[in-house]
């Protein structure tokens, strides 16, 4: 019987949930305990992005996928404002080839709240929520919105001319879902 080769994996909780934003395969639905999503900005980024912070009572649905040949270089470049943190024991999944699992988080000393000059990009929100809708369905996508902190800042409507480099085209139904969710959290959407 051949020995199963084990690989490092990442845990995706934002745009990495959307399979159309990356080429990592196979993707496995998973769940992490002890972390909560929050909108933060890092000085090296022009906009606010999702990050995670420790929170013993929180659970996040997400995905894991292997990092081929242990080569983190391209993923680290994509997540350049984040630190990579090993979270293997906190993740529940069905993959059989996992050696360890890491999550990306903006380091606490480098975070700041989003502001008018560093808004949340609607094109980024669209990509993330589309991923949750397709991976987990409407209930989980709504849970994503309800349990993510920091919606009280400006959301820049850049759908017509996306700033986010991995922007996705949403169906009319997906777009309506995103817009309705933003209303539920009183997000301040501006153009």
- Domain locations in the chain as residue ranges: 7-190
Contact 181, 147 (CB under 8 A): no
Which pTM does this prediction carry? Answer: 0.94
Mean pLDDT of 59-67: 97
* Top-tier CATH class for 7-190: alpha beta
DSSP 149: B
What integer best gives the mean pLDDT of the chain? 94
Check pLDDT > 80 for residue 4: no
Binned at pLDDT 50, 70 and 90, residue 150 comes out as very high
Side-chain half-sphere exposure of 135, counting CA atoms within 13 A: 28
% of residues, the chain, pLDDT over 90:
83
Q: How many CB atoms lie within 10 A of CB 135?
A: 18
Give how far Cα 115 sits from Cα of 20, 40, 154, 163, 168, Å.
28, 9, 7, 17, 24
DSSP 169: P
Give how far Cα 139 sits from Cα of 2, 25, 65, Å.
40, 25, 23
Q: What is the pLDDT of residue 2?
A: 64
Rg of the chain (C-alpha set): 16
Question: Per residue in 87-130, pLDDT tens?
Answer: 999 999 999 999 999 999 999 898 888 888 899 999 999 999 99
Check pLDDT > 90 for residue 151: yes
Sort strands 7-12 and 49-66 into parallel, antiparallel or unpaired.
antiparallel
């Amino acid at each position: 019987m051949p020995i199963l080769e084990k690989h490092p994996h990442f845990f995706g909780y934002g745009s990495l949930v959307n399979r159309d934003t990356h080429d990592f395969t196979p993707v496995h639905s998973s769940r992490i305990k002890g972390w909560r999503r929050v909108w933060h900005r890092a000085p090296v980024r022009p906009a606010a992005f999702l990050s995670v912070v420790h929170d013993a009572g929180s659970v996040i649905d997400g995905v894991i996928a292997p990092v081929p040949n242990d080569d983190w270089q391209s993923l680290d470049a994509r997540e350049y404002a984040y630190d990579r943190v090993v979270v293997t024991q906190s993740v529940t999944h069905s993959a059989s080839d996992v050696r360890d699992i890491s999550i990306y988080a903006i380091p606490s000393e480098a975070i700041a709240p989003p502001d008018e000059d560093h808004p949340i990009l609607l094109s980024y929100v669209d990509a993330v929520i589309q991923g949750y809708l397709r991976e987990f369905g409407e209930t989980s996508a709504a849970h994503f919105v309800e349990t993510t902190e920091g919606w009280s800042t400006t959301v820049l409507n850049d759908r017509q001319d996306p700033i986010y480099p991995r922007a996705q085209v949403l169906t009319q139904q997906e777009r309506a879902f995103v817009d309705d969710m933003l209303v539920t959290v009183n997000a301040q959407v501006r153009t």
